[in-house]
Structures are given as structure tokens and as C-alpha cells.
Structure 1
Amino acid sequence: MFDLQATDGSVRRKEYVSPIAPGGEAIKDPPASLLDGDAAIELHGRLLDHYLREIDRQAENRREMATDEDFYDNEQWSDDDKAILEARGQKALVYNVTATTIDWVLGTERRARSDFKVLPRRKKDAKPAERKSELLKYLSDCNDSPFHWSRAFADAVKVGCGWIEDAIQDGTENEPIVTRYCNWREMLGDSSASEMDYSDGRYIFRSKWVDVDVACAIFKNRKEIIESSVDNVDQFVELSLYGDGPMDQKEMDLDRVTTGRRSDNAIGGYHRRRVRLIECWYRAPAEVPKISKGMFAGEIYDPRSPGHQEEIAAGESEVVTRTTMRMNCAIFTTFGMLWMGPSPYRHNRFPFTPVWGFRRGRNGLPYGMIRRIRDIQEDINKRASKALHILSTNKVIMDEGAVDDIAAFEEEIARPDAVIVKKAGKNIDINADRDLSQWHLELMSRSIAMVQQSSGVTDELMGRGTNATSGIAIQSRQDQGQMATSGLFDNLRYAKQKSGEKQCSLLEQFMTERKAFRITDKRGNPQYIEVNDELPENDITRSKADFTITEADWRATIRQAQADELFSLLAKLAPGAPQLVMVVLDLLIESMDIPNREEIVKRIRQATGMSDPDQEEPTPDEMARKQLQMQQQQFTIQMALSELKKKEAEIRKLIAQAAEIEAKATNTKVQSQRVAMDAAGAAVAQPGITHVADHILGESGFKSVTDQKNEAQEAMAMAQAAQAQAAPQPQPPQGAVNV
């Protein structure tokens, strides 16, 4: 297979990494006998017929697409209209409101490009899927893919359709997988297809003009066919029959004489010989071995795929022969076939992915934003040109014979300091209808406003002053404008999804060798990754993964408005429930468009212990943090148990001390009771001694319980008597007489 895209417009030979295509067929140049055989001749005629029919079917719409692109490039007047204006002495003014509108849409895409990731189909394939994501990001950087996507999106917005190619190229100097922009003027798709990815289409053509010597260097065995395509076909017929204006505009400009020197008079008599090469990818029914069941179900069987072999050996998949629409490729000129063969890609899809703007309902042909506002733009230019002409010229209505010399009068009236001498009784009205200029300018202003209404790109979106006074009103108008252009960004998202699926398939099919590469994060920190190094987690060819587009970043303004509303709500909840704010703080910061957002969220989650809701497995940092938390919890539990044991020991000690004290008190009571019993016995034995004992105890200050109770009762009675005496006596009423 061959790569027809080069920076200098020429064609270079590209060899595929794998010498065997899915199904086992070899990728090599077919012999001349096969290319000149009856089957090749029949295929060449059939494909050339499809090509010419598509040119005829899409000719009118492609001319309109070219005109739309001219309007963006400030070419908004036709040659006929310019000639008419010049004959009137009128200036063909261009007020390019269209370009400003388109630039806002294109700038939005460039400012907020979306991201992607690769998800595994099985949990055990998570690490290989992560390696695929990293490798695709590395390839995106090497191929400058974001810039190619911006060019394709620009075509979609301007003319209605842009193209991206995902292919394999020579890997000796560059990476083998390439994603690049294709000019819409070179592409012709199946106009009967209705799906946005051409999955129901039969063919896609790409036509390129190539220098003859370069073409002969690529197809060494087909030099005669290439020379015959140049010598036996008239150049004018070639341009008019096998191409159209948009496709061959550059080629026609190469032959135009602009300096007054003809090419045949140039030094050495050199003439640049060019030939048209037509590349066709087409689908035809064929018996194809395919994978049935398992992870790779639906893919064309590739005997070189380790994943296919392992799935089949494990009994999870099997190879079956099915009649399917097999993708093929052919490269030819208008004179004969140069190359043909089956597609080397296992995904069995077109390598081209369209990025749509809008499509006409009756025939599915594309058109862009400019088509909707082109008539209004023409009216703006005509109004401006007419108003300027009225203001810069003088219109005179005069009676016949008002001046003697009309020619002299015309010359004098054109002067800003003109002096006009007219005959008495004759009327001359100078600057008649001058007031019409303001009405042209008024209609011009309304047309400019209509451009905004038709396109959805309003003054609020572009940051201009408007009649909306409140922030809510401005935000509402911005939301309305974004909704009007959301279809374009949604189509871009769909195209990136389909293109990413092809890239992921090419990665799994052709990136079979060991490779080390470097990627950088948003902070510029490098990470060094290695794939296919015989470690299972780094093998990207043995598993199947799915390509997904992350959240569309072009919704940044809407997301920012929603984040502001959430921030206001949390500010109200913070005084009463601060813990609720801490729980959702990481999600709030994540929804805001601020620098270093990921790092801020990461630190907040480290501080609060929250995890990423989209994360399937914990990161090493989270695992370390959880382990530390578990250690801290174990330490806290051990400290609590130690404290509890200490308290238990103190309690047991206190209980023992209390028991010892109680035992001592019991012994004392027993001894006292024994002494009392002995004394009572002695008193009974000697009654006379009791009086002596009472006298001795009284002298020593001992008081019996009975004496204590009697003293307490006497003290209480004395206190009550003193209280009664201290109470105030009742006074007699005033005026009463004591008797």
C-alpha cells in the first residue's frame, strides 16, 4: 500500500510494518499480468465510472462549497458583479462579518480541545489499556494530531465536511501510525451513504496531482501506464472530464500566465509534467475468516495476532468463514491500474473519517455555516457599496438648458469646491436622493444583526457590548448561542470517537515491537513508559480495548456557569454545615476551568481522604494513605486498650485497698465488742464497780450514745426557743388604745 500525502505535495513510497494483512494475504506489488488482466481492466472501468458519476452528482454542491470557502477568504464578489461596479465607478466593498462569526467557532474548538482515554474490556487488562492511552497520546504529540483535527473541523464549519485519515506509514523516520488532515477538495465520498462514518457506503475516492517522475519512482513497474496517462490525454480534457473546479483549482493556477512570460520560453524549456492519481477504497462482498465470540469477536482473523491465537487456544473464540463486505484499495490513473489489493487493516473500515457540518435532507450532501448566511453577507456588501457610492458622488436633477456646457458642468460638479453658474429661471437640484444612504446603512446594520441570529454567534458570545444589562440575561443569551452551534461540536466528537477506534485497532495490530517513549502531563513533568517488554501489564497486542472521548471541553462556559451556581449554594450551606462543603469541595474545584485544576483537586483529596469517583483502582498514593490510616487506627486502638488496662488495674488496686480497710474495720469492731462484753461481764459480777467506771469515763470526756442523743434534743429545743423570741411582735393598729 502507498501513502500519497507529502509536505511538498508530492508522493512518496510507504511500506507497511506488517508484510501480511489480516487473513494471511501478503501485502506486495501485484504482478503486471494481474494489473493488465481482464479482471483489473473491468475493475478499473467500474471504479472510474463510479468516480465520474460522483463528480457529476456532487458538482453543483461542490461549487457552492468552494464559494462558501471563498466568502471566508474575503472573495465575496463574482467577476461579473465586479465588472458592473467598476463600469459604474463603484467600489466593491467587503464587510466580512462571516469570517468573524466563523473564527469564533474555530477559536472555541482550538481553545478547548477534548481529551480521550482507552478502557479495557476485562478487569485484568486495565494496565495494558492504560499503556494504550499513554501510547496514543504520544502518537498524538508526534503527529500534531490536534492541529490536523482543527483543520478538518475548519473545513466542516466552512464548507460542510472535513476529512481525517488514520493510516500506516514508513516507520524508519517517523512513527508508523499517523493521523493527518485531508483536503476536502480531493475527497469524493459515496453520496448514497447515510451514516455519518460512511459505514454503509461502498467507496471513497481521493484524487491527487503528482509529478510524473515521482509517480514513476513509486510505481516502478507501471511507468508505461503513467507516461501514457500524461501523453495520450489532453490536459484540458483531463481537467474538465476527470475533475471539477474545486478539485483542480490549484492545478489550473499552475498553468495560468501571471507574469507575461510563457512557460515554453522559460530557461531550458522545462515544463512540469503532472499526472492525476486516483486512490479508491471500496467494499466488496467476499468470503473472509473472522473471529467468532470472545473479546475479538467480529474482527478479521489475523494469524500473526498473539491475542487471536491465545483466545482460540483457550477455546474462548473460534475462526469462522463469513460472507462480509471486505475493504479493498486500488490506485489508478485515467489510463490504467497501478495497484490493487485487500486492505491491510484489521478493523475493515475506511481509513478516512468525515467531520460533518450540516447535511441536506433530500440528498445528504454537506454544507457549512457560511451557506446559511451567505445571502445576508452579500446584502451587507451591496448595501455598504451603494451607501459609499451615494455619499461619494453627486446626483443632479436639472431643467433642460440650465447650463451651457454639460461636460464642463460634470467636471465642475465633481469638485468639492464647485462653482455652478446656471441660467435664470432654470432649476438645478444637486445631491438628489442623498438621504438614501442612511437607509442603506440601516438595512446593512439589520443584516449584520441577522447574521448573528442565523449563526447563533451573538455579541454576548464574542464579549461585545449588548442591550442585556443583567448577568443572568447575558448568560442566557450565551447559552442560547452555544446551543445553536452545539451540533457542530457534537459531530466533531463523533468523528474523533470513530477515528480513535481505528487508531486503537492499528495500535493493537501493528505496534508489536518493544518500544520506550516519553509523555508529559499538563505541568510538563515527563513520564517514561515502555510497552511490549515481555511484562503482561505492558503487552498491548494481546487484549482488546475501547476508545472513548472524555467530557466535551467545548462546554466549558456552560460548565463554569453551573460551577458558579454550585459555589453559591455551598457558600450558603457553609455556616451551618461546613462538613458538607468539605465532602464535595474536590468535585466543585474539578468542575471549574482554572489553571492547575488537577493538582488542586489532588491535594484536596489527599487532605480530605476523598477518592476520585471515576477511578477504577486505587493509586499508589491512595494505597499508601489508606495503609497509614489503618496504622494510625491500630495505634489509636492499642493506646485505648492500654489506657483501659491501666484503669482496670487501678480499679482492682482500689478494690483491694477497700477490702483491706473493711477487714481492719471489722476486726476493730469485733475487738471492741469483745472488750465491751468483758466489761459488761465484770459489771454484772461486781455491780458496785459500775459507778466508779461511769465516774472515770465522765471525767475523761466520754459520752455515751444516750447522752449524745439527749444533748442533741436539748440543743434543738433551745434553738427553737431562741428563734421564737427573735420573731417580730405584731403591732397594734393606728389609733387603738391600749387598755
Structure 2
Amino acid sequence: MLMQSQPYQERGGNAQHTPPGDDALSLQEWQSIVREALNQAPWRAQADMEADYADGNQLDSDLLRRQQKLGIPPAKENIIGPAIAAVCGYEAKTRTDWRVTPDGDPGGQDVADALNFRLNQAERHSKADRALSEAFRPAISVGLGWVEVSRPSDPFEFPYRCRYVSRNEIWWDMKAQEPDIKDARWLFRRRWVDRDQAARMFPEHEELILRLQNGWIADFAGEEHEGGKSTGLYAAAGHERGWTIQEDSWYNDENRQVCISEVWYRRWVQVMVLKMRGGRVVEFDEANPAHLAAVQAGVGTLQRAAVARIRRGYWIGPHCLHDSATPYPFKHFPYVPVWCYREDTTGIPFGMVRDMLFPQDSLNSTIAKLRWGLGAARTERTKGAVDMPDDVFRRQIARPDADIVLNASHMNQPGARFEVKRDFQLNGQHFQLMQDSRAAIERVSPITPSLRGQQGTATSGLQEQTQLEQSTTTLAGPMDMFKEARQQVGEMLMALIIEDIGKEETTVVIEGDTINPARTVVLNKPEQDPATGIAYLSNDIHRTKLLVAMEDVPSSPGFRAQQLNAMTETTKSLPAEEQRVMVPFMVDLMDLPRKKQVVEALREARSQADPEAMREQVKKELMYELKERELEIRDREVAARERLLQAQTVQTGVQASYSAMQGAVQVAQMPQIAPVADAIMQTAGYQRPNPGGADPNFPTADQVPPMPAPGAPAGAAEGMPEVRQNTSPAFPPVPQQPEQGMEGIETPAPTDNF
């Protein structure tokens, strides 16, 4: 509900206390806006006439009266309407859906997918496609159409609404240069509503609304009346229209209606903005701790900038009913213009009908004259040649079964004559002119017969396709303007969706399709960083950069049928296994009521293989098992070989160490053999390793047993105790005189081994 506002006189006294950008629109400013709208270049009357031509109302009332006096029957062949309908059909055929993508933020894909689902849902329920299509037709015809994006006043309806608005209801700042009029200073819309309805909308001004006089309202509205009045064009003779809807509202004192003006305007103010390193820019708020922390940490910089504040007001004549800030989160007026062309110097919009008016008038007049010429006759007679009045004679002579009674006495006089002539050569020239008028419309408009679905000059399929492509090429400018308007409507709807979600945790279930299963995305989910313990929101929609773009391919049934035909031809050349993979994608392009169930049935049937395939599968599994066992045996064999190599390495090292020790013992006992051993090794080709080997670092005993000097008797080693003789009766000594040589412990003395 609109907030209660005070009259302008009371608000003016406190104007110095209002924050910058919150100043309400004064009466002087409102009068200046109205005067500026009145002084704009006139174009609405011409646009109304062009719209009538597109609707088939092409016969001027003055022309009909003149033709009636001459006896020329009215004729009309509307070729503008089918041309405009062909362009509207092309728009419907190439219509694409909105697609929400993360703008340079790869981590925001889940947020983009969830909002994309919500946006497509709003597209269907808000009737956005219908509103844009209704605005596209007047845009193509006369140059401009409007789409309103707002919230309905009825709380039981869908929360978002898109509606087409007539061009004669909206005036805007024509000095704006941007196509989305984001640089326009003001825009206002005027509508006539019942007094009772207006009183319920603004209950604080009920007494003022119900007691208003009709005179000044009609006068005030009539001053702005440049469009919306009768053009004087009719579809046929006798089909006259008394007045238009707006004329009835302006001049009918019995309808008890008042004219309410909805004014949108911008106030420019200086603010501080916080620009982050990643490019994100927000208005700086001193009460926000996050903004202060970003400035102190150096991750953001403060800049001063001039920004626009949008406000809205409601006026009835000089009376202000309400004035407040915009209730919408987007930075645009809630009215989106759909352009076709604009004049370079004045900015006046115009469409395709402008260049087709003269050929259409020429065609209509030529057909009328041709039809009149086929039945017209020229007579040459002397006065008194017929026995009937002149008016009766003229009516009779035009009939194919005319019965003319001549005056016999007059015809017997010398010089009397009566001749009836028909100029068929002139009719041939009229027919040629009619054909030229039909061709002229094709020349001045970008719409070829191929685009209208008619037979043209093409003699082959390639020529037909070329002409169709030429038509679509010439429509590139208007279609780009429509694409921008459609994208702006999508951005405004997404802004409303984000505002409704806010910071609340929201679960979005994205419905699956024939190919992709359904999935769930949780937006604004409260979480805590395990490392720092800081609480944050995952999938935060207010911190994710999003972009509303258009799908690359249309979603119309005709385009899906073309895709299906192309995919069918491509699938035919694929192997059987790959064809099974392509079947779900082909079913997705078909207009079947239960596509998902069909795809599931195909997948189940594909999973149930025939017996031969099952035997092949079992054989493959057995071979796979045997191969696994063989590989396992090989692995164990390799492991055993590795252990054997390790053992051999250890054994070789031990033997080498032992041999080294034995050699050291021999050299230590008999140093004389060392030179001999060196000579033997050199003769065998031994070379000292370079670099040398590593020190094995064998442990040594703390005390080394003394060794006897060379040539000393046995047992002469210093410090070595003598070996005690064995006197045990259980172990008799070894005989001193053996029959064979003794060795080891069998020697006579224990010290013999030394």
C-alpha cells in the first residue's frame, strides 16, 4: 500500500531538512515537465495513422466522399498487415529464453543455476513473453512499444507482472540518448480511472478526488492530446468509428473518471562508493562493519561519485497524491522501451510502415480506378438524342444490361450522333501501375515474399534460402534492439527475485529434464569457516556477480523440429552403439507429452541384454578374471626375484667383507706378501677404483690380542697366558705320536696353532 504523504505546501517548509536525493517533486517542476512534453516534436498522430494502416484502416473519410461522388467504389488490399505479421512471426520463431550466468565468478554456478530456474519460472507466470510480443508489433509498425515490469497490487496474484503499455499513455525525456533511457530525467504515464477506484487507491485524498470538477481535468488533458485521437481512417465505407477510448475519457462527463499521472524522475546526488579489488562497487555505509574493515585492510578504496536516485509520484492535475522513493531494487524506470528506428536529429521513433504508406495508397487507388474503369463507359451524344433525363441515362449506361431509348426524330436530323466508348487501354495501364505498387512495397521494406511464406522470384531452394537470409539480415537492427529490451526485462525480474529472497536461507529444487536429473541448491546457507571460526553464507546471492544473457538457440517448436531433422540425419551415419547414445537427445527435441518416461524406458530396455550378449559378457568377465590371476602370479614372481637379488647382494657383500678381513690378517701377519700380492694384481690388470669406495665402518674391539714376533717360538707372545694341559681322566690327552700328521687341536701343544 502506498504510504501516506503530505500536500506539497506542507512538504515545502521542511525541504531544507530532507536528505539529498529525497526531495519530492514540486508543483513548479511538475509543470515544467508537462510543458516540456507539450513542446516535444509531434509524432504520435503520425504513429496512430501508421498503426491504423497496419490494422487495415487505410481509407480516408474525405477520399471516400470524393469517390462516392464520382461513382468510384472503395477498394483496399492490405499488404502492410501481412508484412508486419511476418516479422512478428519471425520474432516468435527465433525467441530465446533467459540464461543466468556467473559474471566472471566460477564459484557462483550453483547460484546462477538456482536463479536461472526462478527466472524462467517468473518468465512464464508473469506473462513476459506475451507482453514483449505485444510491444514488438507497435515497435516494428510505428517505432516504439512499452513493457511494464512491476509488482501487482493484488496479493493473491503472482508476485511479478509484465504488461504491454500503449505509447499514447507514456511521455518521456526525449533528450535521453541511451536505448534503455537510463539517462532520462523523467517519465510519466497518464491513465483514466474511475473516481471510486482512485479514492480507494489514495484514501487520504478521498474527499479531494470525489469533489474534483470535470472541466479543468478535460482541459488539462486536452492540452497534452497529440496522440490517441481519431485518424479518420476506416476499414471500409460505412465502418465509421465515433471516438477512441481516450477521447471518450477526455470528453465524456458522465463516466466519472479522473486522469492520474504516474511520474518517475531522477535526483542526482554525490555519494561515497567503495570499490573492491575484484571490481565490485557498493555504496559506502559507515554503519557497516564490513565496509570499515575493507577500508582499513586496504582491500577497498573510497571514491566520490554522482549517482541517480529514482523517485515516484502520483498527481491529479496540480494536486500531488503521493511522492516517495522507488519501491523497486533496479536502477531503471519500470517501463522498458522497445525500439525499431529513431530519427537522428529529433530522436522520434518510426517503424517500417512509414515507407510503405505511399505504395499502399497507390495500390488502393489503382485497384479502385481499375474496377471503376472496367465498368465505366464514355458516351458522346448530341443533345436530345435519348428520351430520358440525364441522371437516369448515366445510371443506365453504366449497367451491363443497359436499355437506352433513342429519340428517333432527333437521330434523323443531320449531325445527330450517339456513341458509347470504352477505354480498355487505360485499364491496362492501371493494371501495370497496380503491379508496380505491389512491387514497390517489397522494395521499400526489408520483408521479402520468402519471409511472408509466399512465392517470390526464387526458382530453386538455394535462392529461396538466400532471399530468406537477406530478409533476416535487414532485420538485424530492430531484432538487436528487441533483444536488448528483452534482456533488460530479464534483469529487472531477476532484481525483484533477489530482493524477495534477501538473506534468508532458501532451498531451490531445480526440476530435471529428459537428460539432466533434478537437483537441489541451497541459497544463503549459514556456515562457519573451520580454520578461522568466522560465520559466512555459502551461495550468497548478494555477493555473487550474475549476468542475464540470452540463450544461443531459440526454444520455439519450429526450431526444435529443425534441430531434430539435422540430428536425425547425423545419427544415421553413426555406428549402432553411438546411435543408442544419441537417442535420449533426439527424444528431448520431440514434442512428446511424456518424454522423460520414454527415455527411462529406452534406458531400461538397453540395460536388458539378449542371451548371446550375456554369454559374451560372461566370457569377457572370465577372461578378465584369468588375466587378473596371471598378473597376480607375475607380481609374486617379480617380488620373489627381488628378494633373491637382495639376499644375493647381502651374501656377496658378506663374502667380500670376509675376504677383505682375511687378506688384512695375512698382510698383518706377513707384511712381506703385500708387494707380491700387488704385483700379482697389477699383472692381472687390476686398477685402483676412482673414486674410492665408501668406508664400511666395521666395529673393532677395544683390546687387540698381542701377536708373536716373527721367528719367535710358540707361546712367546707377550701377555698371552699359557694353555693349561688337559689332565682330566675323562679326557685323556691326544697321543703324542700319531700314525699320521696332526692338525688343529690334535697338535702336541696348545700353542702350536700360533
Report what 1:473 is aligned to: 463
**Number of the residue aligned with 1:250:** 245
Q: Which AA in structure 1 matches 2:550?
A: I
Structure 1 residue 363, shift from structure 2 partner: 1.2
- Equivalent residues in 2 for 1:694-713, closer than 5 Å: none
Secondary structure, aligned partner of 2:470: helix
Q: Give 2:139's match in structure 1, choosing from 139, 156, 171.
A: 156
User: Following TM superposition, by how much is the alpha carbon of 1:401 offset from its aligned partner in structure 2, in angstroms?
Assistant: 4.3
Partner of 2:168: 185
- Equivalent residue for 2:240? none
| 1:433 lines up with 2:420 in the alignment | no
Work out the CA distance in 1 between the residues paired with 2:426 and 2:467. 34
Name which of 99, 104, 112 aligns with 1:129.
Answer: 112
1:586-597, aligned counterparts within 5 Å?
595=591
Q: Which amino acid aligns with 2:143?
A: G
Preserved contact between residue 93 and residue 556 of structure 2 (Cα < 8 Å) = no
Q: Distance in 1 between matches of 2:333 and 2:265?
A: 8
Q: Which moved more, 1:377-386 or 1:397-406?
A: 397-406
Q: Is the alpha carbon distance of 1:559 and 1:371 closer, same or farther for their aligned partners in structure 2, counting shifts above 3 Å?
A: farther
- Aligned residue number for residue 89 of structure 1: 71
3-state SS of paired residue (1:390): helix
Output the CA distance in 1 between the equivalents of 2:433 and 2:479: 32
User: Which residue, out of 94, 99, 120, partners 2:102?
Assistant: 120
- The match for 2:547 is 546
Look up the match of 1:105.
87
Q: Aligned partners of 1:597, 1:206: CA distance in 2, in Å? A: 44
Q: Distance in 2 between matches of 1:546 and 1:414?
A: 71
Deviation per CA, 1:238-296: give whole Å up to 9, x if none.
33213333279413135779xxxxx8xxxxxxx32111111221222213454432678
Mapping 1:343-358, distance limit 5 Å: 343-358=326-341
Give 1:370's aligned residue: 353
Query: C-alpha distance in 2, partners of 1:185/1:36?
Result: 32
Distance in 2 (CA, whole Å) between partners of 1:209 and 1:445 is 46
1:610-649 alignment runs, 5 A limit: 640-645=627-632
Aligned to 2:397: 413
**Aligned residue identity for 2:139:** A
Give the Å deviation of 1:146: 0.9
1:394·1:431 contact (CA, 8 Å) conserved in 2?
yes
Match of 2:714?
A: none
SS in 1 for 2:347: coil
1:389 aligned residue? 372
Residue 346 of structure 1, CA deviation: 3.6
Distance, in Å, in 2 between the alignment partners of 1:437 and 1:488 is 40
Q: Are the counterparts in 2 of residues 156 and 355 from structure 1 also a CA contact under 8 Å? A: yes
Q: Deviations over 1:84-126 (max 9, x none)?
A: 2222232322211111111111122223321111112322222
- Partner amino acid, structure 1, of 2:452: M
Task: Output the amino acid matched with 1:432.
Answer: R
Q: Within the alignment, does 1:29 sit opposite 2:4 as a pair?
A: yes
d(CA) in 2 for partners of 1:116, 1:307 = 33
Residue identity over aligned pairs, in percent, reads 23
CA contact (8 A) 2:102 2:112 kept: yes
Residue 105 of structure 1 aligns with an amino acid whose one-letter code is V
Task: Report the more deviating stretch, 31-40 or 341-350.
Answer: 31-40
Q: For 1:347 and 1:651, locate their aligned partners in 2 and report how far apart those are by CA, in whole Å.
A: 72
Aligned partners of 1:479 and 1:138: how far apart in 2? 33
CA contact (8 A) 2:97 2:120 kept: no
Decide which of 256, 276, 280 is 1:297's aligned counterpart. 280
Could you tell me which residue of structure 2 aligns to residue 721 of structure 1? none
Structure 1, gaps ≥5 residues long: 1-13, 16-27, 258-262, 264-270, 608-632, 653-739
1:160 maps to a residue whose letter is G
Judged with a 3 Å threshold, the aligned counterparts in structure 2 of structure 1 residues 326 and 596 are, in CA distance, closer, same or farther, namely same
Of structures 1 and 2, the larger Rg is shown by: 2
Q: Quick check: 1:291–1:320 contact (8 Å CA) kept in 2?
A: yes
Give how far 1:388 is off: 1.6
Q: Secondary structure at the match of 2:182?
A: coil
From the superposition, tell whether residues 495 and 287 of structure 1 become closer, same or farther in structure 2 (CA, over 3 Å).
Answer: same
Greater fraction helix: 1
State how far apart, in whole Å, the 1-side matches of 2:82 and 2:290 are. 51
Cα distance, 1:71 vs structure 2: 0.8
Query: CA offsets per residue over residues 457-511 of structure 1, 9 Å max, x none?
Result: 2222233223322111111111111112232222111111222222222222233
Residue in 2 aligned with 1:722? none
Q: CA distance change for structure 1 residues 649 and 506 in 2, over 3 Å: closer, same or farther?
A: closer
Contact 2:7/2:320, CA 8 A, preserved across alignment: no
Structure 1 residue 497 and structure 2 residue 454: aligned? no
SS of the counterpart of 1:323? strand
Assess if the C-alpha contact under 8 Å between 2:95 and 2:556 holds in 1.
no
- How far apart are the structure 1 equivalents of 2:622 and 2:345? 75
- 1:355: how far off? 0.8
Question: Aligned-pair distance for 1:409?
Answer: 2.6
Whole-Å separation in 2 of the counterparts to 1:529 and 1:35: 53
Task: Choose 401-410 or 516-525, whichever is displaced more.
Answer: 516-525
Q: Structure 1 residues 55 and 311, CA, compared in 2 at 3 Å: closer, same or farther?
A: farther
Please say if residues 32 and 221 of structure 1, whose CA atoms lie closer than 8 Å, have aligned partners that are also in contact: no
How has the CA–CA distance of structure 1 residues 96 and 318 changed in structure 2, closer, same or farther, with 3 Å as cutoff? same
How big is the shift at 1:383?
0.9
Cα distance, 1:188 vs. partner?
Answer: 1.3
Matched, 1:222 2:223: no
State how 1:476-487 maps to structure 2 within 5 Å: 476-487=466-477
Compute the displacement of 1:368 (Å): 1.2
Q: 1:563: Cα distance to partner?
A: 10
TM-score, with normalisation over the residues of structure 1?
A: 0.67
Unaligned segments of structure 2, at least 5 residues = 16-22, 231-243, 527-536, 604-619, 640-754
Which position in structure 2 is the counterpart of 1:11?
none
Residue 51 of structure 1 corresponds to 34
Letter in 2 for 1:428: F
Q: Which residue among 57, 60, 71 is the counterpart of 1:78?
A: 60
Shift of 1:202: 1.4
Instruction: Measure the CA separation in 1 of the matches of 2:568 and 2:28.
Output: 66
Contact 2:524–2:541 (CA under 8 A) maintained in structure 1? no
Instruction: State the alpha-carbon separation in 2 of the partners of residues 636 and 190 from structure 1.
Output: 81
Question: Could you state the TM-score of these two structures normalised by the residue count of structure 2?
Answer: 0.66
Give the secondary structure class of the aligned counterpart of 2:90.
helix
Aligned to 1:697: none
SS at the partner of 1:369? coil
Contact conserved, 2:98 with 2:119, CA < 8 A, in 1?
A: no
Deviation at 1:443, TM superposition (A): 1.4
How many Å apart are 1:63 and its aligned residue?
0.7
Distance in 1 between residues matched to 2:50 and 2:512, nearest whole Å:
39
* Letter matched to residue 88 of structure 1: L
Distance 1:211 1:306, change over 3 A: farther
The answer to whether the 8 Å contact 2:249/2:255 transfers is: no
The 3-state SS of whatever aligns with 1:149 is: helix
Give matches, 1:202-221, under 5 Å. 202-221=185-204
1:622 corresponding residue in structure 2: none
Distance, in Å, in 1 between the alignment partners of 2:555 and 2:119 is 22
Query: Does the C-alpha gap of structure 1 residues 566 and 227 become closer, same or farther in structure 2, counting only changes over 3 Å?
Result: closer
| Structure 2 residue identity aligned to 1:37 | G
Residue 186 of structure 1 deviates from its aligned partner by: 0.7
- Choose which of 453, 464, 471 in structure 1 pairs with 2:454: 464
Q: What residue identity is the alignment partner of 1:194?
A: Q
Deviation at 1:138? Answer: 1.2
